[in-house]
Amino acid sequence: GYFYSRWNKCIHSSHDLSDIVFIDNYIFNKDVFIQFNSTVGEYVGYTEHGVYNAEKWNSNSGQLQSERAQVERYCKHNAEISQAAIADKS
């Protein structure tokens, strides 16, 4: 059978959360075929199908804005909650 998944993650190393990077991976049969990285600011394709979709998705300004907003909406929100929980225990 075939296996499709979508994994996203937030990476940061400072307490002020100024360096957060949002990465959204689209995976087919354990290979990333397209990725959005907030540092790059657009989709990057790694296979023929991924390159085709990246070009298509990058031309949709609404979709790009939505992905770029994930740093604030998803990453910083959850990082602040995690940091507060850690700070409360010390």
Residue numbers of the domain that contains 60:
4-88
Q: How many domains does the chain have?
A: 1
Q: Rounded to the nearest 5°, which phi and psi values hold at 60? A: -95, 100
> What pLDDT is stored for residue 80 in this prediction?
83
The H-assigned helical ranges of 1-90 are 48-58, 61-70, 77-89
Model pLDDT for residues 7-61, shown as the tens digit of each residue:
999 998 877 778 899 999 999 999 999 999 999 999 999 999 999 999 999 999 9
CB 27 within 8 A of CB 33: yes
> What pLDDT is stored for residue 46 in this prediction?
97
Residue from 7, 24, 15 nearest 79 by CA: 15
Three-state SS for 18? coil
